[in-house]
Amino acid sequence: MKKGKLFSARNVAYFAVLLALAVVLQLFASAIPMFGVTLNFSLIPIILAGMFFGIVGGALMGLVSGLVIFISTAVMGTEPSTAFLFQADPALLTLTCLLKTTLAGAAAGLLYRLIAKKHSLVASFVSALTVPVLNTGIYMLGMVLMRSDVAEFLGTQASANAVFVAVFSLIWLNFLLEIAVSVLLAPAIHRVVTVVEKSISRRNGKKHASSANS
């Protein structure tokens, strides 16, 4: 997408589609059970938004996705541990939920713009990997900062290091699955972005041609 065109009618329509996809994936496909762990596809719209719209678009999609995650897991209580932490430390939990996806989307947009100038497929892989890495990393940091509340939820008196290890042991496999999903889907995501950008370029070319003829 061209700079300065983020809020064009076409981009707003594309963003709305990705936003609807983010809501659907978070509510209905964010925790698909598989061999005792879960597959999470709700980060895909954040990756796409970063690649399509750059830093601002990626950050905005991340913020909205984080808000959806926060409402569904903390406010609605679909995830017991998150709901407990929201009651214990609402400010820090809210900040963690919103910050992790927002920064992930912004970083994905930035890295894609920088790397795509040399190799768009590599840029797609890097962006796809950046989102789950930052999302999980910031979440882990939030859990460490809330270590006493996490220890209370776990029913143990634990040090910061012990809480970190306990939390990491609970989410590391899901994180690896998110990485695997991102790597497997990166070529498809790259293809989608390429097709859309080519389609937009053709339409813009036709508009310029018709304007010149008139």
Taken in order of first residue, the domains within the chain and their CATH numbers are 9-200 (1.10.1760.20)
Which DSSP letter does residue 33 get? E
Which residue in 168, 152, 145 sits closest to 94, CA to CA? 145
The C-alpha atoms of residue 25 and residue 27 are separated, in whole angstroms, by 6
Residue 214: helix, strand or coil by DSSP? coil
Is the dihedral angle over the CA atoms 15, 16, 18, 22 positive or is it negative?
A: positive
> Is this structure's pTM higher than 0.85?
no
pLDDT in tens, the chain (214 residues): 544 466 677 778 888 888 888 888 777 765 554 444 445 678 889 998 998 889 999 999 999 989 988 898 888 887 888 889 999 999 999 999 999 999 999 999 999 999 988 988 898 899 989 998 998 889 888 888 888 887 777 776 556 566 666 666 666 666 777 777 777 777 777 777 777 767 766 666 555 555 555 5
The C-alpha atoms of residue 202 and residue 27 are separated, in whole angstroms, by 36
Region of 26 on the Ramachandran plot (φ > 0 left; ψ -120 to 50 alpha; else beta): alpha
Which residue in 23, 53, 142, 128 sits closest to 89, CA to CA? 142
Which DSSP letter does residue 32 get? E
**DSSP β-bridge partners for residue 212:** none
